[in-house]
Amino acid sequence: MTSKRWQEQGQGTGKRLQTRQKHLYLVLDDWAKGFTIRKIDADNDPHLGVPPVVRLVAPERRDAMSFAALGSNILAAGNRHPGTLVYDTETAGLATGPCLPGPLLGGVNIFVVVGGALPASDWPWRSVPFPPPLRPEEVIVSYAVHPDERTIFLSAARGALSRRTFPFDTGRREWRRHGNWALPFTGQGYFDSQLGTWVGLHKDGGVCSCRVASRSSASAAPPEWEVVGDKLWSHDKVAFWPTLTYMGGARFCVVECVVREGLEYEDAFGDRDGCVLHITTFGLKYGRKGELRTIGCTTKSHVVSKHSSPFSPVAFWM
């Protein structure tokens, strides 16, 4: 698989310009002092991006950090340290960013890119007027950006019985109650224009396709959704929640980390190659009967070390 190349043909000159090929960038906690960012070929990289393009020292050992993509940049931030680190994948440059806004330092560590910018930040950061309207016992379980690229849907849960969804309008900069239901996937969902739906990971090990919720009205019923028949990650063995990455054109990548065969969970950490990283790339396509199915599914596995128990590997396509 190769990334889409945009080409311009110069009139009468035969000149052809091409954009750079995209790669998969992995963020791993395989370094005793922090994290590594690795640039790999999603289809053929037996060495998992060795050596890494950059190493990031964690503010505190084994302290989890949050990562987000913004254009060609990978941003890193942690609740224990207000500063941000920015790695530019085009220039291989590393910069320090301004402190996070106050509301984000309170534990809300989800970054969502909307319209090419993080809603909590530009450069420098723009302050969030107030954090999501969560009750003390609630946690965010899923989120997705509306195709209008200005509305974010967040689903919060308090156990299995209490779930609700509310959108944030970046234009009006306000939260609204939407319904007593949650998006059917876990973590981030991505909108694909070819499919016309959000796509996310379902808790049972499959991929979930969900109709886009209306941003203008509240609804007592959740949007229609379905789970693709193929099981793409080993939910019965996974020790750390997998992450889904959107690669454009109805192509996706699932990255999951599992404890290596023969080891107990508590014995898998440290410089001992205690885990296995599975990288699965696949496409989605509607069949003749309108069912959604996977195409071109491939999985590459790599033995890795792991140092931070709360951190799950993150992947970006850029």
Q: Would you place residue 101 in the very low, low, confident or very high pLDDT band (cuts 50, 70, 90)?
A: low
Give residue-wise pLDDT tens across range 255-290.
999 999 889 888 999 998 999 999 999 999 998 888
- Residue 229: helix, strand or coil by DSSP? coil
Question: What are the E-state strand segments in 133-227?
Answer: 139-145, 151-158, 162-169, 174-175, 186-192, 197-201, 207-211, 225-227
Mark 64-78 as b/e (b = at least 16 C-beta within 10 Å).
Answer: bbbbbbbeebbbbbb
Reply yes or no on whether the pLDDT at 127 is more than 50: no
Spatial distance between the Cα atoms of 137 and 134, rounded to a whole number of angstroms:
8
Structure-token match 């080891």, residue found = 263
Reading phi first (left if > 0) and then psi (alpha if -120 to 50, else beta), residue 49 is in: left
Alpha-carbon span 173 to 134, nearest angstrom: 16
Higher-pLDDT residue of 106 and 24 is 24
Integer Rg of the chain from CA: 20
pLDDT for 84 equals: 80
CB within 8 Å of 282: residues ≥ 6 apart: 207, 232, 251, 252, 253, 254, 294, 295, 296, 297, 298
Higher-confidence position of 130 and 265 = 265
If pLDDT is split at 50, 70 and 90, which confidence band does 100 have? low
State yes or no: pLDDT of 1 exceeds 80.
no
Computed over every residue of the chain, the mean pLDDT equals 81
- Please give the residue that has the higher pLDDT: either 62 or 131: 131
pTM of the full structure: 0.86
pLDDT of residue 4: 37
